[in-house]
A = this chain, B = another copy of it.
Amino acid sequence: MNEIAPRKTLPRLDESLLTHLPPFSRLEKRQIRTILDQATSRRYDAGVAVFEEGHDADRFYMLLDGYVRVVRITPTGEQVTALHIPAGQLLGIAKAIGRDTYPATAMTATESIALSWPMRLWDTFVTEYDGFATETYKTLGHRVGEMNTRIVELATQQVEQRVANALLRLINQTGRKVDGGIEINFPITRQDLSELTATTLHTVSRLLSGWEKQGLVESKRKRIKVCDPHALVVLSQG
């Protein structure tokens, strides 16, 4: 099981952390200061839970750095990744959808840093801070769209297409241009990729081996570089 580590307040936070992030970008310096003073900052190792499904939704988060995946764990213990959340987005906003427990578990995919606030401040944020609610709901809308897409993919696409799509999404969100291609910016195992695409690590491994032979990708342990994104797009279309 994943322990949830205790929070820890770090030295005074700088305002520039938030000023460029949409939910806060319309606020005055003074407001941002207040928000930061109420925040708790914390670093998370890779692979730990930020919060867990079913637990009391007592805090909401802003991911400042790193990458989080939102997973659900089935009765039989399999993990299914429902969403990936990149830095700069809110997380654990159960209150926004009228829930008082978290509907899923959030696990870090890499080492990450997040601010968090007690959920009792939620209503204040929504009413006091101009643009906060709107931006939050946009994020929500975006996520609903992604979930929809995922449902359609699962329902209609072959494994090969799904894996290709997942890879493309990952390099779009977190790709880093490197020599000879675009590399996924954090360590990711075949197992992770299989949980994202609802297949087995064996199948993912076979697919990647095949693609590597064709020169579409290069990969080492926990690292994947896409050399020919266009070919992947073609594959992903079936």
CB distance from A82 to the nearest CB of B (A): 6
Q: Are A198 and B80 in contact (CB under 8 A)?
A: no
A residues 207-238 in Cβ contact with B at 8 Å: 237-238
Closest to A155 in B: B198
What residues of chain B lie closer than 8 Å to A151, measured between beta carbons?
A: 72, 80, 82, 147, 150-151, 154
Q: Are B97 and A148 in contact (CB under 8 A)?
A: no
What residues of chain B lie closer than 8 Å to A98, measured between beta carbons?
A: 134-135, 137-138, 140-141
CB distance from A153 to the nearest CB of B (A): 9
Bound CA–CA A124/B238 (angstroms): 45
Bound CA–CA A27/B187 (angstroms): 53
What residues of chain B lie closer than 8 Å to A178, measured between beta carbons?
A: none
Bound CA–CA A145/B156 (angstroms): 21
CB distance from A206 to the nearest CB of B (A): 19
Judge if A78 is at the interface, Cβ distance under 8 Å.
yes
Bound CA–CA A154/B162 (angstroms): 13
Q: Are B82 and A138 in contact (CB under 8 A)?
A: no
Bound CA–CA A135/B80 (angstroms): 29
Bound CA–CA A74/B236 (angstroms): 13
Bound CA–CA A75/B78 (angstroms): 31
A residues 154-200 in Cβ contact with B at 8 Å: 154-156, 198
Q: Are A137 and B97 in contact (CB under 8 A)?
A: yes
Q: A144 and B145 in contact (CB under 8 A), knowing A154-B154, A198-B155? A: no
Q: A80 and B147 in contact (CB under 8 A), knowing A98-B137, A99-B141, A141-B103? A: no
Question: Which residues of chain A have a CB within 8 Å of any CB of chain B?
Answer: 72, 74-76, 78, 80, 82, 94, 96-99, 103-104, 134-135, 137-138, 140-141, 143-145, 147-148, 150-152, 154-156, 198, 237-238
Interchain residue pairs with CB less than 8 A apart (29): A72-B148, A72-B152, A74-B156, A75-B237, A80-B151, A82-B148, A82-B151, A82-B152, A94-B141, A96-B137, A97-B141, A98-B134, A98-B135, A98-B137, A98-B138, A98-B140, A98-B141, A99-B141, A103-B141, A103-B144, A143-B144, A144-B144, A147-B148, A147-B151, A151-B154, A154-B155, A154-B198, A155-B198, A156-B198
Closest 6 CB pairs of A and B: A97-B141, A98-B138, A155-B198, A154-B154, A80-B155, A98-B137
